[in-house]
Structure formats: structure tokens, C-alpha cells
């Protein structure tokens, strides 16, 4: 049964789609990640996300993944320096 205590940011969506929305997730001890219901059967996406996470600067496990996700979202709004002529 899924409860509100299982609402997390999906590591796969965060790393591959830059989606930091909280979703119903399950914990995968093999991946050491929270993974949403849609990505549970998607082994290709899960492997890509695991590889990308290993290269992620500042990641030290599940204890700080939400801080990193929120920081990435904040950086996205600051990096857009385009002007409309």
C-alpha cells in the first residue's frame, strides 16, 4: 500500500528529465534510489540514471538528493540569460 510517507522525488525523473515533482515512489536498495511507479519497470532509464548519479557533483547518497534536486531547479532559472530583441 502506498502512503503519503512514500512521496519523494524520483531519482530517475530528476536525473533524466529534470523533473523534481514529488511522486509516489518505492525505494530500490539495488539502485539506492527512490523510483516512481512509472520508472519501476524501465530498466534502461534506471541504469542511465544510476550512471549519471555516480557522476553527479556533491551527491553523497539519499541524505542529500532532495537538496541537490532543489539546487538544480534554482540554477536552471539563473542560467537562462537570453534576451528578446
Instruction: Write out pLDDT tens, residues 19-38.
Output: 989 999 988 888 888 899 99
Statement: the pTM of the whole predicted model exceeds 0.85: no
Cα–Cα dist 4/12, whole Å: 20
Which of 24, 33, 31 minimizes the C-alpha distance to 69?
Answer: 33
What is the distance, to the nearest Å, from the Cα of residue 26 to the centroid of all Cα atoms in its chain?
Answer: 13
Per-residue pLDDT of 56-75, as tens digits, reads 776 655 555 566 666 655 55
DSSP per-residue letters across 10-41: -HHHHHHH----EEEEEEETTTTEEEETTTTT
Model confidence band, residue 1 (pLDDT cutoffs 50, 70, 90): very low
SS3 54: helix
Amino acid at each position: 500500500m502506498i502512503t503519503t510517507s512514500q512521496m519523494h522525488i524520483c531519482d530517475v525523473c530528476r536525473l533524466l528529465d529534470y523533473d523534481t515533482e514529488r511522486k509516489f515512489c518505492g525505494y530500490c536498495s539495488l539502485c539506492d534510489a527512490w523510483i516512481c511507479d512509472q520508472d519501476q519497470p524501465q530498466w534502461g532509464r534506471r541504469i542511465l540514471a544510476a550512471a549519471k548519479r555516480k557522476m553527479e557533483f556533491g551527491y553523497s547518497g539519499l541524505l542529500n538528493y532532495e537538496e541537490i534536486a532543489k539546487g538544480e531547479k534554482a540554477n536552471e532559472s539563473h542560467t537562462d540569460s537570453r534576451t528578446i530583441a
